[in-house]
């Protein structure tokens, strides 16, 4: 990894849903070309952190945000164009959500919406993104088939290809492996390691060993608070900074 200004910064981020505090005073950064693992029990605010970055929290009526969220040093909540911001941040949900269209059109959808019309350009983008998502060899001869007819693991990789189609600078993955088999999970993990050479990745996972395999650093959230963040091997070692971290990563609760 290159030591540079953080790609993403959360500064004293607090998120309210009505009277409930989902995140409290979270300060955390994502560095260029880094995979940052976000672990913690259900309800710890992991998904809320991602939604604060791509501003989908605004779709929740009673959500209120305090603090700062910055991308390349600029406040995302002052971005002049929300669509342009979201093109810089790819999102992959826990369950694959294929668009009811062909495999090709699933991947080409975002570039078309951004104004790309050249078939040659679109063909190249579709192939590149499917290769990056480790799906090209399985679907290259049936790109006209419905994406929703693929297996669960293939659909999740198609979701990743679609997230990559607008060439994001940050990729956010929210429990990407929850509905896929271990073999496919490992294939996607290899894809993510390769992708981190070009982009920064926020990896939310309930699988602590997945964070250990993939993340350069790992952050532990508990009940909306950041307990600690540090190099992954140190966090998973015998002497993390907080005893709650040791208990969680060793399966004593969660």
The more confidently predicted of residues 1 and 113 is 113
Confidence class for position 1, pLDDT limits 50, 70, 90: very low
Helices (H), the chain: 46-54, 82-87, 103-113, 119-132, 136-139, 152-164, 182-195, 208-214, 232-235, 243-249
Confidence class for position 54, pLDDT limits 50, 70, 90: very high
Reply yes or no on whether the pLDDT at 2 is more than 50: no
**SS3 (DSSP) at 150:** coil
Average pLDDT taken over every residue of the chain: 93
Q: Which CATH number fits domain 1-88+171-176+201-254: 3.40.50.720, 3.40.50.300, 3.40.630.10, 1.20.1740.10?
A: 3.40.50.300
pLDDT of residue 96: 77
119-132 and 182-195 are packed helices; what angle lies between their axes, rounded to 10 degrees?
Answer: 120
pTM, to two decimals: 0.91
pLDDT of residue 187: 87
- How far apart are alpha carbons 62 and 48 in whole angstroms? 13
**SS3 (DSSP) at 205:** coil
Cβ-based burial of 36 (10 A; exposed 0-12, middle 13-18, buried ≥19) = buried
Closest CA to 73 of 110, 32, 101: 32
Closest CA to 89 of 7, 191, 192, 179: 7
Q: What is the largest CA-CA distance in the chain?
A: 56
Q: Which of 4-8, 19-23, 41-45 has the least mean pLDDT?
A: 4-8
Reply yes or no on whether the pLDDT at 148 is more than 80: yes
- How far apart are alpha carbons 184 and 220 in whole angstroms? 26
Contact 240/232 with Cβ under 8 angstroms? no
Q: List, for residues 198-229, the tens digit of each pLDDT value.
A: 999 999 999 999 999 999 999 999 999 999 99
Q: Which of 64-73, 116-125, 239-248 has the least mean pLDDT?
A: 239-248
Q: List, for residues 62-94, the tens digit of each pLDDT value.
A: 999 999 999 999 999 999 999 999 999 999 988
Q: Which two tokens stand for residue 6?
A: 């953080």
């Amino acid at each position: 990894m290159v030591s540079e200004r953080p790609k993403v910064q959360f500064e004293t981020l607090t998120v309210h849903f009505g009277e409930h505090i989902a995140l409290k005073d979270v300060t955390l950064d994502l560095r260029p070309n880094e995979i940052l693992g976000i672990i913690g029990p259900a309800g710890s605010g992991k998904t809320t952190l991602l939604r604060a970055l791509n501003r989908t929290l605004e779709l929740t009526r009673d959500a209120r945000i305090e603090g700062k969220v910055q991308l390349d040093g600029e406040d995302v909540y002052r971005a002049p164009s929300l669509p342009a911001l979201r093109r810089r941040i790819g999102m992959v949900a826990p369950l694959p959500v294929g668009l009811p269209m062909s495999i090709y059109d699933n991947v080409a959808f975002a570039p078309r919406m951004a104004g790309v019309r050249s078939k040659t350009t679109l063909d190249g983008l579709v192939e590149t993104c499917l290769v990056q998502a480790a799906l090209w060899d399985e679907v290259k001869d049936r790109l006209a088939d419905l994406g929703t007819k693929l297996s669960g693991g293939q659909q999740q990789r198609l979701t990743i290809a679609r997230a990559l189609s607008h060439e994001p600078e940050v990729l956010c993955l929210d429990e990407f492996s929850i509905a896929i088999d271990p073999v496919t999970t490992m294939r996607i993990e290899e894809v993510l390691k390769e992708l981190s050479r070009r982009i920064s990745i926020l990896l939310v996972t309930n699988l602590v060993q997945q964070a250990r395999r993939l993340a350069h650093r790992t952050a532990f959230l508990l009940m909306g608070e950041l307990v600690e963040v540090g190099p992954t091997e140190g966090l998973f070692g015998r002497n993390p900074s907080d005893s709650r971290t040791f208990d969680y990563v060793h399966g004593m609760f969660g």
